[in-house]
Amino acid sequence: MQEITPDPSELDNTSALKFFDSLSSESLSFNSSDYVMYKLDCKSGEYIFMSPSIKSLTGYSRRELNERGFKSIVKEISSQRQNRYKLKGGKETDAEEFYAKYLIQTKAGEFKWIEDNSFTYLDESGERTTTEGILRDASALQSFVDDLNDEKNNLDRIFDLSNTILIQLDKNLTIVMINKRGSIVLGGTKQEIIGMNLEAFIPERSKNKFNDFVDELLAEKKLDTIYSEGQIRSLENKIETIEWHNTLIRDKKGELVSIIAAGHEITERRKEEKIRNIISEILEEANSEKNLDEFFNFIHESIGRLMKAENFYIAYYNREEDLLTFPYFVDKHEKDASPQKLGKGLTESVLMTGRSKLVDRELDDKLIKSEEVDLIGPQAEIWLGVPLKIQDKSIGVMVVQDYEEVTTYGETEQQILDVVAYPISRAIERKIVEAEREELIVQLKELNESKDRLFSLISHDLRNPFNSLLGFAEILTTEYDVLTREEIREYLNVINDSSQNLYGMTNNLLHYSRYQLGKYTYNPIEKNVKETIEGILEAQKNHIKKKDILFINAIDEEISFYADENMLNVVLNNIIGNAIKFSAPGGSISIKTEKFSDEDDKKIRLILKDSGTGISEENMERIEKKEMFSNPGTMREFGTGLGLFLSRDFTSMNKGELEIESEDGVGTTVLLTLPSAELQTS
């Protein structure tokens, strides 16, 4: 006969009373060894009644249990619960339902699991009066449950051996099972993770994509396995990319019951793929027609796809000038990217050691305090710099930094930049070589054009004074006996003028050739303006006298230029010579000086004004374009067109400025501005 023990919580109040009232001392016919009915007096703690099967269940009689106490044979309590009810019968009565599972030791020393289902009555003051219940042998059931648990534990152990992430989700995406690998990736223990919703592990930036996938998954009726890929954020705030194979478990109606998700971490694989793609793109861009600025901007965007790169710069070491230059510089706080001499900054430290550096504010403070490095620019919370190398020689440094968050960069980002630095170095070198080649091509083109112009001027302009010189020399040689003294004097003056003119032209050719070959070096000294001008006028006195030019000299005797002597003489000889050359006989030339300050620099401006022929608009445009051309003077003086060209470049090399103001037919004013020697000696 199978006995059924009703759960008191499933009975209504009246049924519960009738059921437990039936458990009385008259129920002696209940003699199953698996069940023991009992009635306990709560105040005395003694069992008023126990069915005879208590002997079979425990080996003890009711009297023996009352003497030693039932608790003495209980060795372990597996579980227990208690609920209170208000029973309605003839009058309202409070009662408590109680359930427990015990491990007991019988009189014979045997261990058994028993279940205790009871119902306790309470009096008006809430005190327990009597308890009526049933004890049942649950050893067989417990053994079955233990076997199931052992099987589950064995299965869990098998799952835990796998390197695959295994997670079981219910239809609401609550985690109901996870293996060891899964709990490691999610950053917690199984106990912490089971019961959490999978959405809690999805990064904020990926939630829209995740929700779209879940909607698609729940709506899918045909497929039993669905592939997906996405990111998760662990409880330790670490982000991983996971490749999932989701198996859908359905009921007989085809409704989704649970999901078994098997996942593989592909973070490193995706990272490596992304790095390879970016390196490939950078090398491809290096072979494109983009200029350096465009290429550096592309590198910045590429690094930004691998990590935060809001503040990013590339420093390039110019070995010839021993300067650190910044061909690309983007920073939210620092704007100064001008070249600088090597110092003791973090950038220089990476450049000199040839090793990457990851420096947070704390380490930076220590380095500054120990005087290993100097603080240059605003201090970042985290700074990461890697060397750019060609054949183990550092050519520059690539840097990212963050002013707010110290965790932005770590060893992972350092390794990534170390990997991409070499191909970037090669690409940068290639672009720099291309840029230098393009610049060299332009320079060679300009030199070739300059050579062509020079040869044209030489072949045309040098021929004229030679023709004049040779022609009059031949007349003097062949007709000397018939020439008058006045004619001989006139021809000798022409030969002298042609010789002087030819000498000046030859000098300019010499200066130009030396300049093109880079033979001129800037060695400034103090040069008194008045003495220098008077020396040039002395050399030009015959020409001035011949044209009867009124020369007005209003130069301050006390002021001095700070300039290279050789280059200064070339400039002054040419601008004064041109003023004389294009002045008509009886004309005038005035020269004066003025002092002024340009910011912190003291300057001297020399103003040379003539009343000569002036310069046409067409020729002014040619001057602005730095074209070399030559026009004859008012007395057919010839030139090569090199004088003004050299004067402008030599003035620039002396940190000065040469300006020309002219009106055709009226005259020309030349303004020569150079540094004052006063600043150098004060």
What is the CATH number that goes with domain 288-437?
Answer: 3.30.450.40
Q: Which residues of 468-501 are buried (b: 16+ CB within 10 A; e: fewer)?
A: bbeebeebeeeeeeeeeeeeeeebeeebebbebb
Domain ranges of the chain: 8-138, 162-265, 288-437, 520-681
Edge-first strand order for the sheet with 35-41 is: 46-50, 35-41, 128-137, 111-122, 92-105, 74-88
Distance CA 446, CA 456 (A): 15
Q: How confident is the model at residue 640, as a pLDDT?
A: 52
Tell me which fold the domain 8-138 belongs to. Answer: Beta-Lactamase (3.30.450)
Domains 288-437 and 520-681 share a fold: no
Residue 400 has pLDDT above 90, yes or no: yes
Residue whose entry in the numeric block shows the structure tokens 């599972």: 101
Q: In this predicted structure, which of 1-10, 313-322, 427-436 has the lowest mean pLDDT?
A: 1-10
What percentage of the chain reaches a pLDDT higher than 90? 14
pLDDT at residue number 639: 58
The reported pLDDT for the residue numbered 304 is: 86
Confidence class for position 415, pLDDT limits 50, 70, 90: confident
User: CA angle, 477 as apex, 474 and 478 as ends, to 5°?
Assistant: 85
Confidence band (pLDDT; 50, 70, 90) for 278? confident
Q: Residue 425: which pLDDT band, with cuts at 50, 70 and 90?
A: confident
| Verdict on whether the full-model pTM lies above 0.85 | no
Reported as a single tens digit per residue, the pLDDT across 170-210 is: 888 999 888 888 888 899 998 899 999 999 998 888 888 88
pLDDT at 469: 73
Task: Output the DSSP codes for 45-77.
Answer: TEEEEE-TTHHHHHS--HHHHHHH-GGGGEEEE
For the domain 520-681, what is the CATH superfamily, name and number?
Answer: Histidine kinase-like ATPase, C-terminal domain (3.30.565.10)
Top-confidence residue, 289 or 393: 393
Average model confidence (pLDDT) across the chain: 80
pLDDT exceeds 90 at position 372: no
For residue 389, pLDDT over 90 is answered with: no
Identify the helix (H) or strand (E) that includes residue 651.
helix 642-653
Which of 349, 365, 415, 359 minimizes the C-alpha distance to 382? 359
Q: Is residue 610 within 8 Å of 668, Cβ to Cβ?
A: yes
Position 488 scores a pLDDT of 82
The architecture of the domain spanning 162-265 is 2-Layer Sandwich (3.30)
276 is written with which tokens? 């390879």
Distance CA 589, CA 552 (A): 6
Distances (CA, A) of 118 to 9, 82, 95, 289: 11, 10, 10, 90
